[in-house]
Structure 1
Amino acid sequence: MSDSTPAPTGRRARVRAPELIGKGGWLNTGGKQYSLADLRGRIVVLDFWTFCCINCLHVLDELRELEEKHRDTVVIIGVHSPKFVHEAEHQAVVDAVERYGVEHPVLDDPELATWKQYAVRAWPTLVVIDPEGYVVAQHAGEGHAHAIERLIDELEAEHAAKGTLRRGDGPYVAPEPEPTTLRFPGKALLLPSGNFLVSDTTRHQLVELAEDGESVVRRIGTGVRGLVDGPAGAAAFNEPQGLALLDDGSVVVADTVNHALRRLDLGSGEVTTLAGTGRQWMQGEPTSGPGRDVSLSSPWDVAWWNGKVWIAMAGVHQLWAYDPADGSVAVTAGTTNEGLVDGPGGEAWFAQPSGLAATDERLWVADSETSALRWVDREGAVHTAVGTGLFDFGHRDGAAGQALLQHPLGVTALPDGSVAVSDTYNHALRRYDPASGEVTTLATDLREPSDAVLAGDDIVVVESARHRLTRLRLPEEAVRVEAVAHRTQRAATEVAPGTLRLEVIFQAPSGQKLDTRYGPSTRLLVSSTPPGLLRAGEGAGTDLTRELELDPDVPEGVLHVSAMAASCDDDPANEYPACHVHQQDWGVPVRLTEAGADRLPLVLAGLDG
C-alpha cells in the first residue's frame, strides 16, 4: 500500500459471505444466474427488502445516488425476502422491481434461504461484502447510505492497492419498457367534468382520462423523477400517489418519493408545491409549522375532511393535516411507533397508513402493514374496525372481529354508509358495513387493486398491476370465497422464559460520534404481542440495553422493538457537522423454551472493527 493510499479504519473480521440462493431466481440480469464467485473483485452491497415495507422503499431511494457514483466498482443486489404471502409470488416481485424503478439485480428468495444464511432479523438490512468475498459490515434500518459510502471509499482504496479490485460494467440489464397507457397507477379521482385523474406512479406523471377511463386527455409532468413546479409540460413528480379535490377546484397530490404535497390547477395545468422540503422527515425534526418549511415522509394518500387536507404519512406511521387557510402542516394522530393501538390521536399507533376516505363523521384509513381498516372520529380518536396487528392477515369474511385482509392500500366510502376496501394483496374488493359489523367480498380476480372511486352506479377500481382502471357495477350480493388465514412465515427465535437481556448494538460509523448536544442520542421502545408476553421491560427509554421479563405461561409471541441513534461527523473544526439518524423497527417472533437464549442482540448499525 503506497503512502498516498488512505488506510482503512480498524481491522475487519474475516467472515466469508454465504452464497446467494433463491428459489425465484434472478431479475434484471437478462436471464443470467449469478453466484458470489461471479462478483469477485467488486464491492457487493446486499439489500434485504420486501416490497410492502416503506422503510425498504426509503432505502431503495437512498441507494440510487451511491449506485450511480460507484457504478464501476459496486454491485448492489436486492435480496427480496417476503413478509406477506402475496410477496412470495414471483410475478409480484417482477412487478415490484419495475414499479419502484429498481436498477440493479434482484434475487427472488421466497423461502428466505439467503435471509437465514445471513442471520437477518429485520427489513431492511444492508450487508457489505468486500472484493475478496468477506462480509465487512451489516446495517439494519434506513439512514445508512452515508456510512456505507465511507466504507466503499475505504474498500476501493484498499483493494486497488492490493490489486483485488475489478472495475467495469455491472450485471444489471434493464428490462424492455412496456407500451401501456398507464404503468402501475396508484390512485384515482373523479373530476367534476366526469373525467378521471390518475396518478401514473411508475411514470412519475398525472394522467387525465376521459369518462371511458381509457382515452388520454392530457398528461401532467415530464415523466422523469424530479421536484419541479411549473406548467404541465415542465413540472416533475416522483412516484405520485394520492389525489384529493379542494373546494376551489384544484387538486392536492401526495408526491410520495418527493416527500411533498403538490397542487394542480385543473384549468391551467400549473403545478406548485404546498408542503414539504423535498427531504424525508427524520426523528427530531419539527412536526408542525409552515408547510414549505417542514419535511414530510412518504405521503401516500390525501383526503379533504373537517376543513383540512388529511395526509396518510406512510413513512412515519402517522396522520398529518395541511391547512390551506394558513399553509401550515401538523401531526394529527400517531406516535411514529409502528403497530395497531387505538385511542386518542396522540397515543394511537399506525403501520404505514396508505389509503383515506372521508364521510361527515369519520375518516377511514387503510392501515396496510397491520392489514387493518381503521377510522378517526371528529374528536380525533382512532378506532379499529378490522385487523389485529402486524403479523396476522388473510382473506376471511364474516364478523369484523375475526375477518382478515391482506395489506390493503385503498378505502372508498359508499352511499349506504359502508366502505369498500381495496384489499391489495388479496386481489379483491371487500366491503365493511358498520351497521352490521360484517365484512364481505365484492369482487375478486383483480390484480393489486390500490384504490377505487364511485362513478354513478359503478365503482371504478385502480387495478394497479394490470395498469388500468376497471369499471364494475356495485354488486347487490357478496362473492363467496374460501377463508384463508396466514401469519408471517419467519423462524421464531427460541428464548428462555424469565429474564431476557435485549441489546441493540450500535456503533457510530467511521468518522462520526454519537450526537449528545441536546441530550441522549439514542431511544429504545419495546412492546409485545400478546401484551401479556412481557411482565416487565415494556415502554420507552434512552438506554439501548434492557432487561425484559417474559411470562412463562405465554408460549410464543412477538417482541416489537424500535430503536433510534443519532450520530454526527467527528470534526472539532466544523461548527456545523453533518448529522444522521439511524432507525429501525423489529418484530421478532419468539418461542419460549427452557433451552432458549437469555440474550437477544439486534444490530442497528455495525462496522466490524
Structure 2
Amino acid sequence: MGRSRVRAPELTGRRWLNTGGEPLSLATLRGKIVLLDFWTFCCVNCLHVIDELRELEERFADVLVTIGVHSPKFVHEADPDAVEAAVERYGVHHPVLDDPELTTWDAYAARAWPTLAVIDPTGYVVAQMSGEGHANGLGVLIEELVAEHEAAGTLHRGDGPYVAPPEPTTALRFPGKAIKLPGGTLLVSDTAHHQLVELDADLVTERRRIGTGERGLADGDEPRFAEPLGLVLLPDAVAATTGYDIVVADSANHALRGVRLDDGHVTTVAGTGAQLRERVDVGASAAELSTPWDLAWWEERVVVAMAGNHQLWSFDPVSCAVTVLAGTTNEGLRDGPPDEAFFAQPSGLAVAADGTLWVADAETSALRAMVDRPAAGAAVTTAVGLGLFDFGFRDGSADTGDEPALLQHPLGVAVLPDGSVAIADTYNGAIRRYDPSTRTVGTLARGLQEPSDLLVDGDALVVVESAAHRLVRVPVPASSRVDRGAHRVRRARTDLAPGGLSLRIDFMPPTGQHLDTRFGDPTSLTVTASPPELLTAGAGTATGLAREVRFAPDGPVEGVLQISVAAAACDDGDGVFAACHRYQQDWGIPVRLVDGAPDELVLDLRAVRE
C-alpha cells in the first residue's frame, strides 16, 4: 500500500491503568493492530473520540488494541488520582498510559488533543491524524491491515490486555449539576450512573431515581441517559404547555430531554442522538446537537452551553426551535457581538437579576458574560481570564496586567444575593468569587474535589463536589486572598523564522472518500495569535488548507499560533446522496522566532498516511 515505514517509539509514562497493574510494551503487543489515542480529560473533543472508538473496539475486538495515552494540558490533569478518576468517569474500557511528562506525546510528535496513531502488527506507524471524526476512515484502514497481515501470517487474534477495574460503590458517581425543586428537594444529575436523583435537603437521603442506570437513549417510563449534566426547571406556565417540567442536557447523547416530575416520564425534545458535525452560525437552527453541558432559563428560553462546538444555543420549549445564540465554533477567547465571539467549552451558566448571562468558559479558564441590551444589542465580554494557554490560582484584580486573577478550568457559576458571582473553579478545587463592581476575584473555599456546580441556598452554597461523589453545603464567608501562581500549557516550543511563514494543513480523505467541491471549497482555516501583536498578516478565517502568514517585525518573539481547520469529505458513490463526514481540529502551537529556523509549518489532519 506504499505506507511509510516508521518504527513506533516505545510507550513510556508514569504507570498503566486498566491492565491489572501490568505494564505494556510494544513487544508484548506484536501481532495486534495498536491504536494510540492521545487525550486529556479536560478536552471535549477527546471525549468525543472516546465515544467514536467504542464501535471500532467492539467490531475489531480480537485484533485491535486501543491504548489511551493521557497527556495533560492543565496542572490538575497531571494528578494521578484525577487521571484514574477520569478513566472511570468517561467509561474508558481500554488500557491507559499515564504520561504526565508528555514523554510518549513528544516521541510521537503529537501537537494537538486529540491525536491518533495506528501501529501495524509488525510495530510500524502507518497512520497519524488529529481531531475527531476519523472513525469511518480508521475502520477502512483496520480492515486493510487485517487482510494484509493475516495473509502475511503476522496478525495474531485473541483477547487484548484490558482488565476492568473494580466496580465503584458510592451512591452518587461523578455528579455533574443540580437544581432546587419547588418542594425544597434537589434534583442531581448522577452523571456516571446515567441517572437523575432526587435528594432531600440533607443532600444525602434519596427520594427517587429517574432512569434505569443503563447508558443509552430511550424515552418513556424506563428512560436511559448517557452522562446527563445540566438541568433547568421550566416556569409553571411553560411546563403546563409542554407537558414536562425539567430540561436535561443529556451530554453524551447530544440531546435535550424533557422530564415530567409527577411520574418521571422522559421525552427527547431536541437532538437525534447523533453528534453535530457541521458548522452552524448564529441565528441558524440545527437538528443535531454537540455535547450540551449546562442549561439556564434566560429571556423566555432555555440557553444551552454547547460545549462540543464552543457555542451558546437557545431552545424554545413551546415551539421546540433550537437556534445558535452566540459563538462561531472557533475555540478561543474573543469578545464582541454574538456572531463574532469565540468560546471554548462553555460549561456553566447562571442568570443575574439584571439579566446578565454568566458563563463558565472552561478551556479558557474564564468567566464570560453575555448581555442583550435593547439600545446597544447583544455582546459577549470577559470578566476573568486570558485565553486558552494561561491559567492558575491567583486572586486580585481581574484586569489584565502583570499579575491578573486566574482560574483553572471552571465548570460552574452561581449569582450570589449581593450580585457577585460564585465560580466553581474545578481544577483548583476551589470556590471563587468575582465582584463586578470592583472587578476583583477572591476565594470562598478550598480543598474541594473537582467542584462542578453551585446552588445558592440561603446564606450558604450547595456545591456539587463531583470527584468526591457528593453534594456539600458550604457557608459563604468573606473572600480570602490566594496566590498560588500562574501557569501556561506545557508543550515544547516550535522555532520558526521571523518574517513570512507558509502554513499548510495536510489532509487526505480515507479510502472510499473524496473532497466534494461541487458546491465550493469544503474546507475552512482560521488563524489567530496570542498575543495578537505576533502577526501582521494572515489572521482570520477563509477557505483553503494553506495560508501565508507574516510575523510582526517589531513584535513579540514568542507567542502561540492558534489554528483551527475543518474539512468535509464525502463517500465515493452516487452524487448528492453520498454521506459526508466532517474532520476538524484546533491546534495551539507555542512558537519562538529564531533566525535560521524553518519558514514553513505543516500540520497533519490527514486520515491516512500513505
Q: Smaller-chain TM-score range?
A: over 0.9
Mark the CA change 1:91 to 1:527 in structure 2 (over 3 Å): closer, same or farther. Answer: same
Whole-angstrom distance in 1 between the partners of 2:442 and 2:576: 60
Letter in 1 for 2:367: L
How far did residue 608 of structure 1 move?
A: 2.6
**Distance in 1 separating the partners of 2:190 and 2:580:** 35
Q: Is the 8 A contact 2:134 2:607 kept in 1?
A: no
Counterpart of 1:560, as a letter, is Q
Match of 2:269 among 267, 274, 283: 274
Output one character per residue of 1:253-299: Cα deviation in whole Å (capped at 9) or x when no partner: 00001111111111111111111111111125687677xx6101000
| Superposition map of 1:307-322 within 5 A | 307-322=300-315
How much has 1:542 moved relative to structure 2?
Answer: 1.2
Separation in 2, partners of 1:603, 1:119: 11
Match of 1:86 in 2: 76
Give 1:482 shift: 3.2
Q: Distance in 1 between matches of 2:118 and 2:164?
A: 23
Question: Which residue identity lines up with residue 404 of structure 1 in the other structure?
Answer: L
Report the counterpart of residue 533 of structure 2 in structure 1: 532
1:345 Cα shift? 0.8
* 1:383 is aligned to 2:381: yes
1:338-487 equivalences in 2 (<5 Å): 338-360=331-353, 361-379=355-373, 380-401=378-399, 402-475=404-477, 477-487=478-488
Amino acid at match of 2:372: R
After TM superposition, give the deviation of residue 178 of structure 1 in Å: 1.4
Deviation of residue 170 (structure 1)? 0.7
Instruction: Tell whether the 8 Å contact from 2:506 to 2:602 is kept in structure 1 after alignment.
Output: yes
Partner Cα distance (1:470, 1:512) in 2:
52
Amino acid corresponding to residue 383 of structure 1 in structure 2: T
Instruction: Report Cα offsets for 1:178-207 as digits up to 9, x if no partner.
Output: 110100000011111111111011111101
* Rounded Cα–Cα distance in structure 2 between residues aligned with 1:163 and 1:561: 43
What is the alpha-carbon distance in structure 2 between the residues aligned to residue 538 and residue 284 of structure 1?
20
Cα separation, 2, equivalents of 1:283 and 1:264: 28
Shift, 1:155, TM fit: 0.5
- Secondary structure of the structure 1 residue equivalent to 2:605: strand
The answer as to whether partners of 1:288 and 1:329 remain within 8 angstroms in 2 is no
Q: How does 1:8-157 map to 2 (within 5 A)?
A: 10-23=1-14, 25-157=15-147
1:257-272 matched pairs, under 5 angstroms: 257-272=252-267
Once the two structures are superposed, residues 143-167 of structure 1 have per-residue CA deviations (whole angstroms, 9 ceiling, x without a partner) of 0010001000010111111111111
- Could you tell me whether the CA contact under 8 Å between 1:287 and 1:294 is conserved in 2? no
1:197-208 equivalences under 5 Å are 197-208=187-198
SS of alignment partner, residue 606 of structure 2? strand
Q: Distance in 2 between matches of 1:227 and 1:501?
A: 46
TM-score by length of 1: 0.96
Query: 1:34 offset after TM fit, Å?
Result: 0.6
Q: 1:547 and 1:288, CA in 2 relative to 1: closer, same or farther beyond 3 A?
A: closer
Asked if 1:235 is matched to 2:219, the reply is no
1:38 is paired with a residue whose SS is coil
Distance 1:117 1:230, change over 3 A: same
Q: Which residue in 2 is equivalent to 1:330?
A: 323
Aligned counterparts of 1:19 and 1:175: Cα–Cα separation in 2: 25
**d(CA) in 2 for partners of 1:595 and 1:467?**
54
- Provide the secondary structure at the position in 1 that maps to 2:372: coil
Alpha carbons 2:284, 2:324 under 8 Å: kept: no
- CA contact under 8 A between 2:279 and 2:329: conserved in structure 1? no
Is this contact kept in 2: 1:196–1:211, CA < 8 A? Answer: yes
Q: Which residue of 1 aligns with 2:600?
A: 599
Q: Secondary structure at the match of 1:425?
A: helix
CA distance in 2 between partners of 1:224 and 1:286 (Å): 34
User: Quick one: which amino acid aligns to residue 421 of structure 1?
Assistant: I
Tell me, in whole angstroms, the C-alpha distance in 2 between the residues paired with 1:391 and 1:285: 26
Letter of the 1:385 counterpart: A
Deviations, residues 407-464 of structure 1 (Å, cap 9, x unaligned): 0000011110001000000000000011121100000000000001122222110000
Shift in Å at residue 29 of structure 1? Answer: 0.5
Structure 2, gaps ≥5 residues long: 240-244
CA contact (8 A) 1:88 1:110 kept: yes
TM-score using structure 2 length:
0.96
Tell me which residue corresponds to 2:563.
Answer: 561
1:517 aligns with 2:511: no
Q: Write out aligned runs for 1:159-198 (5 A).
A: 159-198=149-188
Q: Which amino acid in 2 is paired with 1:413?
A: V
C-alpha separation in 1, matches of 2:423 and 2:264: 31
SS of match in other structure, 2:27:
helix
The letter for the 1-side match of 2:52 is E
8 A contact 2:283–2:325 mirrored in 1: no
TM-aligned CA distance change 1:286 to 1:271, over 3 Å: farther
- The answer to whether the 8 Å contact 1:286/1:294 transfers is no
Aligned partners of 2:116 and 2:607: how far apart in 1? Answer: 10
Q: Distance in 2 between matches of 1:257 and 1:437?
A: 36
After TM superposition, the structure 1 stretch with the greater mean CA deviation from structure 2, 408-417 or 534-543, is 534-543
- Deviation, 1:480, is 3.6
**Structure 2 letter corresponding to 1:534:** L
Kept in 2: contact 1:86–1:426 (CA 8 A): yes
Letter in 2 for 1:252: V
| Distance of 1:263 and 1:74 partners within structure 2 | 39
Comparing 258-267 and 509-518, the one that deviates more: 509-518
Q: Give distance in 2, aligned partners of 1:289 and 1:567.
A: 23
Amino acid in structure 1 at the alignment position of 2:256:
L
Match in the other structure for 2:577: 576
- Tell whether the 8 Å contact from 1:288 to 1:294 is kept in structure 2 after alignment: no
Closer/same/farther in 2, CA of residues 96 and 244 from structure 1, 3 Å limit:
same
Matched residue, 2:242: none
String of CA shifts for 1:118-171, please: whole Å, max 9, x gaps.
001100001000000000001100000100010000101111111111111111
CA–CA separation in structure 2 for the residues paired with 1:176 and 1:550: 53
Alpha-carbon spacing, 1:491–1:535, altered in 2? closer, same or farther (3 Å): same
Q: C-alpha separation between the residues in 1 aligned to 2:507 and 2:89?
A: 33
What is the correspondence of 1:486-501 to structure 2 with a 5 Å cutoff?
A: 486-501=487-502
Distance in 2 separating the partners of 1:195 and 1:19: 53
Tell me, what secondary structure is at the counterpart of 2:216?
A: coil
Structure 1: gaps spanning 5 or more residues: 1-9
- Percent of pairs identical after alignment? 61
- CA distance in 2 between counterparts of 1:551 and 1:378 reads 36
Match of 1:246 in 2: 234
Distance 2:603 2:87 in 1: 28
Return the offset for 1:65. 0.6
Q: Deviations over 1:28-59 (max 9, x none)?
A: 00100011101000000000000000110110
Q: Compute the displacement of 1:519 (Å).
A: 1.1
Q: Which runs of 4+ in 1 moved over 4 A?
A: 284-290
- For 1:347, give the aligned amino acid: E
Q: Cα gap change, 1:326/1:575 in structure 2, threshold over 3 Å: closer, same or farther?
A: closer
AA of the residue aligned to 1:245: L
Structure 2: distance between partners of 1:398 and 1:328: 42
